[in-house]
Structure 1
């Protein structure tokens, strides 16, 4: 089953195809800003029964270099079969579209990123034949955007920064900057980025912070994520009210127990004693008074040293 982080890591490029040209500078390559970007079918299945599907496939048109294809793969962990699949994707796309084809792998942890960016050749050492050199975006090279103004300047990049740093301590600061930047954005701009970020964080503790930020800073948001947060808050409020009601009932019962013991022992209970007992809200103090009421010679004695 495809996980939400997997979907977020590649679908954000479908949402904003131009994001790749802005990300490329962090990958050590210079990709011109596209004048046009088109999402292509991701199904790479041939006539044989083996189904092969790339995560995201984009066609870019550039004024300087002409058109090229970008295959984007989200990778959550090391997998020995993946390099062969990636080599197949790029070779097949090159053959089918007759266009230069690049591969971008997006990761969320340093170990997977380091593994993914290794060159792999399909032939023996002396005859490499076809060599795969993926570009890799991950916590090792994606920017740490903690300034709301910087996040506002490129919201998609800030969202990708949060996704790729999802397991890093710095993600909290990135999320706070992103939520602040999204606060004044129109719903049609903010909503998809809120969802991508939520999907990318779903397996990490930072998801709780993002839920709270969405509920507080982005209160206009009405997706399942925001409703989940608000329902959680409502539930917590209900539980707190119920605890308070139970505590009040427990205090009232204990005060009545003290008066009952004093009455059963035939002691005179003045109005001041009665009021002091019934007005007390400290359950531990009432417990002490109840113990003293069992042996006190006078009702007033229950308060001694209290």
Structure 2
């Protein structure tokens, strides 16, 4: 199943295709900023039953180098089959679109990033034929943006920095800088970045910090994250109210049980007194006494039971 960090790591490039040129500077290359970007279908499945799907595929155009394709892969851990899949993606895209194809792999840990950037050849050592060596963006080369001014200068890059450093000690400072920078951003700009960042953090401890920052600083954004926080608060309040109601009901039930027990005991006392006095107790009298649940009325009947000449007169009816 595709995870939230997986989606955030590649979909952020769909959100801002120009991000690739800015990221490339941290990867040791300098890719010109695109003047035009087009999202292409990501399904690379052929007629055979094997399905191959790249995470994000963009057609980027630059002012001086012409168009090229960018395939973005989000990689959460090492996988021995991935280099072959990446080789297929690039070869297929090159064949289908007849355009230069770049492959960017985005990671969230050093070990996966180091593994992903190693060149892998599909042929024997003396005949490499096709070598795959993608550009890799991860915690080893993405900037640690801790100043709100720096984050404000490129909000999308700051969000990617938080995503790629999700498991790093410095992520808290990045998140604080990003949340501060997003305060002044329009909702249509801030909302997707709030959600990309939350998805990229997934279940890591830093997500709690991000949720608190969003709830405090960005509460006016109606993002799913803010709604998630509000829903949890509502659930907690409902649970507290439910517990209070249950306690009240329990107290009422306990009181009723005690009253019923008291009434039952008092009714037995009335019947016992009448029997000890040798009075005949008709069935209707016995039934009326045993079915009475009014403690005060039973108390009066108990007092009369000591002196009445007949059991019927215990009720004191006119």
Q: TM range, normalised to the smaller chain? A: 0.7 to 0.9
Which residue of structure 2 lines up, in the alignment, with residue 157 of structure 1?
Answer: 157
Which residue of structure 1 lines up, in the alignment, with residue 120 of structure 2?
Answer: 120
Pairing of 1:68-107 with structure 2 (within 5 A): 68-107=68-107
SS of residue in 1 equivalent to 2:214: helix
Cα distance in structure 2, aligned partners of 1:89 and 1:95 = 10
Cα distance in structure 2, aligned partners of 1:236 and 1:209 = 19
Which residue of structure 2 lines up, in the alignment, with residue 53 of structure 1?
Answer: 53
Which residue of structure 2 lines up, in the alignment, with residue 26 of structure 1?
Answer: 26
Does 2:242 align with 1:208? no
Unaligned runs of 5+ in 2: 248-318
Cα distance in structure 2, aligned partners of 1:126 and 1:17 = 38
Which residue of structure 1 lines up, in the alignment, with residue 3 of structure 2?
Answer: 3
Cα distance in structure 2, aligned partners of 1:145 and 1:240 = 41
SS of residue in 2 equivalent to 1:196: helix
SS of residue in 2 equivalent to 1:38: strand
Greater CA drift, 223-232 or 13-22: 223-232
Shift of 1:63: 1.6
Q: What's the RMSD between the two structures over aligned residues?
A: 1.9
Shift of 1:21: 0.4
Paired residue total: 246
Which residue of structure 2 lines up, in the alignment, with residue 66 of structure 1?
Answer: 66
Greater CA drift, 218-227 or 70-79: 218-227
Change (3 A) 1:49 1:242: closer
Shift of 1:236: 5.6
Q: TM-score with structure 1 length normalisation?
A: 0.77
Q: Provide Cα deviations, 1:32-65, integer angstroms capped at 9, x if missing partner.
A: 1111111111111111111110000011111221
Q: TM-score with structure 2 length normalisation?
A: 0.74
Cα distance in structure 2, aligned partners of 1:238 and 1:169 = 36
SS of residue in 1 equivalent to 2:37: strand
Shift of 1:233: 4.1
Cα distance in structure 1, aligned partners of 2:236 and 2:150 = 35
Cα distance in structure 2, aligned partners of 1:72 and 1:104 = 5
Which residue of structure 2 lines up, in the alignment, with residue 268 of structure 1?
Answer: none
Which residue of structure 1 lines up, in the alignment, with residue 111 of structure 2?
Answer: 111
Which residue of structure 1 lines up, in the alignment, with residue 13 of structure 2?
Answer: 13
Unaligned runs of 5+ in 1: 247-306
Pairing of 1:1-306 with structure 2 (within 5 A): 1-233=1-233
Shift of 1:203: 2.6
Cα distance in structure 1, aligned partners of 2:99 and 2:78 = 29
Shift of 1:231: 3.6
Cα distance in structure 1, aligned partners of 2:66 and 2:133 = 21
SS of residue in 1 equivalent to 2:221: coil
